[in-house]
Amino acid sequence: MARMVQRDEAALEALYDRYAGLLSSVLNRILRDTQAAEEILQDIFFQLWRTASQFDASRGCLPGWLMVIARNRAISRLRHHNPAAGEELFENTLVLLPMSLESAITQKELMGRVKVAMEALPKEQRAAVELAYFEGLTHSEIAERTGDPLGTVKTRLRTALETLKRAMHP
Amino acid sequence: MNGHPTREQDFDLYALGALEGDEKAAIGNHVATCASCAEKLADARGRLALLALAAPAVAPSPSVRARLMNQVRSEKQGGALAPAVSLVPETTGGIFGRWWAAVLVPVGFALALASFVLWTQNRRLDQQLAVLHEDMQREQQQLQSAREVADLINARDTVIVPLAAQPGMPKGSAHVMYNAKMGMLMYEGQLEPNPANKSYQLWIVPTQGNPISAGVFNAASTETDHFLMKLPPGIAPKAFAVTLEPAGGRPAPTGPMVLVGAAS
């Protein structure tokens, strides 16, 4: 990021090469629209370039920020919420990733753990997590979508998150 | 909410965006004034961010990277377009003694000039076309590579093998991601820079037969080296190793083993 602040294009290219695949995957999963996903992907990295000096490493790690921002932007787009004009990339949001995601191989290892953990969840719990994470639905929206009682949805989601936490960070 | 959230999952649910109404407002208001809970929320955001990894890998088109870098370059230039350069040089008129010369000479000159301009434009368009063709081919190759990496990452039978430094050898570490069925291998590691007259060489040691070269590389000083290799499909690996070889590599290992890792 220090090189980005110095307006070093190669630094942006290196960050893009490292994280664009991750962001592209989540953007495509949420939007199911390659063109929209690519627009947001380009926009995120362009804003990263323009506002690199505002990034405060003490407030979180870059890949965590990028993944949170990518999800938020995609869900806003999906739900037709237009982000406010001039929205800052480094919103006042602290994100602490439990591990480094700098290398493609670490990403692959972690991807395997997350997928296994998700697949091990009971079907209804997995569906609740996917509706919340990839579609941005709230408790009551999930209940409405699935036809399950609100209390059941809350319990499912809470239990699923606890199981995922234990599985991904034993 | 006057106190701290009572359950750890409250932070997860808030970060996930599943909470609504009073529940959401209570946590939002509380973390705005409580540093320890703000940190718990940051941890929750990080944990949940990892759920993104459950999404199937989709490599972006290389054109996104190209568009991004064009956008960056335009922004660096202040968004101003370069002043248009006229292809037609300015000409000054002359005085001719005869009327036809006064007509034909400028017409002839204009035609010659127009021909020259068209020829120049045609040549320039040919050159632009050649550049675009090269760009397109390069983008297609990048897209192909990106898809291959995504396939390698997504495949369930891809194995990841850590390679450890050997005693007395240059310090470093690496990982190999390998899929025998696809015949695809990705190396990623950091090693001390190799001497100028030497190269590092990666080998796949099959369960049967001699080691097979899987890439020759030179280590940069601080950067992580990574490369993708295509190998004949179906090689069952016993181990992977990196040796120090004469510059350019050798068909079979001759130098000391720097890194090694067993495949199982």
With cut-offs at 50, 70 and 90, classify the pLDDT of residue B102. Answer: low
What single string gives the DSSP state of each residue in chain A?
-HHHHTT-HHHHHHHHHHHHHHHHHHHHHHH--HHHHHHHHHHHHHHHHHTGGG--GGGB-HHHHHHHHHHHHHHHHHTTPPPPTT--SS-S--B--SS---SHHHHHHHHHHHHHHHHHS-HHHHHHHHHHHHH---HHHHHHHH---HHHHHHHHHHHHHHHHHHH--
- Based on the fold, state whether residues B191 and B252 are members of the same structural domain: yes
| Nearest-neighbour CA in chain A from B179: distance (Å) | 13
Burial of B46 (0-12, 13-18, 19+ CB in 10 A): buried
- Based on the fold, state whether residues B177 and B202 are members of the same structural domain: yes
- Phi and psi at residue A130, in whole multiples of 5°? -65, -40
Residue B50 has pLDDT above 60, yes or no: yes
Residue A147 has pLDDT above 90, yes or no: yes
Least confident segment among A24-38, A142-156, B1-15, B136-150: B136-150
Higher pLDDT: B105 or B24? It is B24
With cut-offs at 50, 70 and 90, classify the pLDDT of residue B181. Answer: very high
Confidence (pLDDT) at B82: 35
Confidence (pLDDT) at A153: 95
Q: For residue A114, give the CATH number of its domain.
A: 1.10.10.10
- Based on the fold, state whether residues B163 and B148 are members of the same structural domain: no
Please state the domain count of chain B.
3
| Nearest-neighbour CA in chain A from B91: distance (Å) | 43
Rounded CA-CA distance A128/A74 in Å is 18
Q: Does residue B82 fall inside a structural domain?
A: no
Query: B71 and A42: CB-CB below 8 Å?
Result: yes
Arithmetic mean of pLDDT, B160-180: 89
Percentage with pLDDT > 70 across chain A: 82
Task: Name the nearest CA neighbour of B49 among A133, A46, A73.
Answer: A133
Please state the domain count of chain A.
2
Q: Please tell me if residue A95 touches chain B, with a CB cutoff of 8 Å.
A: yes
pTM above 0.90, yes or no: no
Examine the fold and report which residue of A98, A120, A141 is the final residue of a domain before the chain moves on. Answer: A98
Examine the fold and report which residue of B112, B137, B152 is the final residue of a domain before the chain moves on. Answer: B152
- Based on the fold, state whether residues A118 and A80 are members of the same structural domain: no
Higher pLDDT: A136 or B6? It is A136
Q: Which two tokens stand for residue A53?
A: 């000096």
Higher pLDDT: B180 or B147? It is B180
Contact (CB, 8 A) for A120 and A106: no
- Based on the fold, state whether residues A91 and A108 are members of the same structural domain: no
- Based on the fold, state whether residues B199 and B231 are members of the same structural domain: yes
- Based on the fold, state whether residues B189 and B123 are members of the same structural domain: no
Residue B96 has pLDDT above 50, yes or no: no
Q: Please tell me if residue A81 touches chain B, with a CB cutoff of 8 Å.
A: no
Rounded CA-CA distance B13/A168 in Å is 17
Q: Which domain holds residue B28?
A: 8-54
- Based on the fold, state whether residues B45 and B15 are members of the same structural domain: yes
Query: Over chain A, what is the mean pLDDT?
Result: 83
Arithmetic mean of pLDDT, A130-145: 94
Find which of B7, B12, B19, B53 to mutate to test the A interface (most A CBs within 10 Å of its CB): B53
Least confident segment among A163-167, B72-76, B113-117, B233-237: B113-117
Q: What is the pLDDT of residues A110-121, one digit of tens each?
A: 788 888 889 999
- Based on the fold, state whether residues B165 and B254 are members of the same structural domain: yes
Find which of A9, A17, A23, A25 to mutate to test the B interface (most B CBs within 10 Å of its CB): A25
Q: Which domain holds residue A12?
A: 1-98
- Based on the fold, state whether residues A15 and A75 are members of the same structural domain: yes
Confidence (pLDDT) at A148: 94
Q: For residue A90, give the CATH number of its domain.
A: 1.10.1740.10
Query: A42 and B67: CB-CB below 8 Å?
Result: yes
Confidence (pLDDT) at A138: 93
Examine the fold and report which residue of A98, A117, A139 is the final residue of a domain before the chain moves on. Answer: A98
Q: Which amino acid is at A30?
A: I
- Based on the fold, state whether residues A91 and A107 are members of the same structural domain: no
Residue B89 has pLDDT above 50, yes or no: no
Q: Please tell me if residue A5 touches chain B, with a CB cutoff of 8 Å.
A: no
> What residue ranges in chain B does DSSP mark as E strands?
159-165, 172-179, 184-191, 198-206, 212-217, 225-230, 237-246, 257-262
Confidence (pLDDT) at B221: 66
Confidence (pLDDT) at A100: 62
- Based on the fold, state whether residues B187 and B256 are members of the same structural domain: yes
Q: Please tell me if residue A3 touches chain B, with a CB cutoff of 8 Å.
A: no
- Based on the fold, state whether residues B136 and B231 are members of the same structural domain: no
Residue A89 has pLDDT above 50, yes or no: no
Least confident segment among B70-79, B94-103, B194-203, B223-232: B94-103
Q: Which amino acid is at B155?
A: A
Confidence (pLDDT) at A74: 93
The partner residues of B199 in beta bridges, in order of sequence, read B245
- Based on the fold, state whether residues A72 and A112 are members of the same structural domain: no
Q: Which residues of A touch B56 (CB under 8 A)?
A: 25, 28-29
- Based on the fold, state whether residues B134 and B220 are members of the same structural domain: no
- Based on the fold, state whether residues A70 and A135 are members of the same structural domain: no
Confidence (pLDDT) at A27: 96
With cut-offs at 50, 70 and 90, classify the pLDDT of residue A4. Answer: confident
Query: A21 and B186: CB-CB below 8 Å?
Result: no
- Based on the fold, state whether residues A108 and A94 are members of the same structural domain: no
Rounded CA-CA distance B4/B7 in Å is 9
Q: Does residue B118 fall inside a structural domain?
A: yes
Cα–Cα–Cα angle for A95, B56, B204, rounded to 5 degrees: 100
| Nearest-neighbour CA in chain B from A105: distance (Å) | 7
- Based on the fold, state whether residues A87 and A29 are members of the same structural domain: yes
Residue A164 has pLDDT above 70, yes or no: yes
- Based on the fold, state whether residues A88 and A112 are members of the same structural domain: no
- Based on the fold, state whether residues A69 and A114 are members of the same structural domain: no
Contacts of the segment A14-19: beta carbons below 8 A, 24+ positions apart: A15/A45, A15/A48, A15/A62, A16/A45, A16/B65, A16/B68, A17/B65, A18/A102, A18/A104, A19/A62, A19/A63, A19/A66, A19/A101
Confidence (pLDDT) at B261: 94
Q: Which residues of B touch A21 (CB under 8 A)?
A: 57-60, 146, 149-150
Q: Does residue B248 fall inside a structural domain?
A: yes
Q: Which residues of A touch B63 (CB under 8 A)?
A: 38
Q: For residue B178, give the CATH number of its domain.
A: 2.60.40
- Based on the fold, state whether residues B185 and B145 are members of the same structural domain: no
Query: B17 and A111: CB-CB below 8 Å?
Result: no
| Nearest-neighbour CA in chain B from A9: distance (Å) | 8
Examine the fold and report which residue of B115, B132, B152 is the final residue of a domain before the chain moves on. Answer: B152
Residue A82 has pLDDT above 60, yes or no: no
Which of B33-42, B114-123, B253-262 reaches the highest mean pLDDT?
B253-262
Q: Does residue B129 fall inside a structural domain?
A: yes
- Based on the fold, state whether residues A91 and A7 are members of the same structural domain: yes
Which of A59-73, A114-128, B117-131 reaches the highest mean pLDDT?
A114-128
Examine the fold and report which residue of A49, A69, A98 is the final residue of a domain before the chain moves on. Answer: A98
Task: Name the nearest CA neighbour of B133 among B68, B141, B145.
Answer: B141
Q: How many CA atoms lie within 13 Å of B90's alpha carbon, on the beta-carbon side?
A: 2
Arithmetic mean of pLDDT, A153-170: 87
Listed in sequence order, the residues at least 6 apart from A76 whose beta carbon sits closer than 8 Å to its beta carbon are A82, A83
Least confident segment among A114-123, A143-152, B109-118: B109-118
- Based on the fold, state whether residues A123 and A88 are members of the same structural domain: no
Residue B200 has pLDDT above 70, yes or no: yes
Arithmetic mean of pLDDT, A12-24: 90
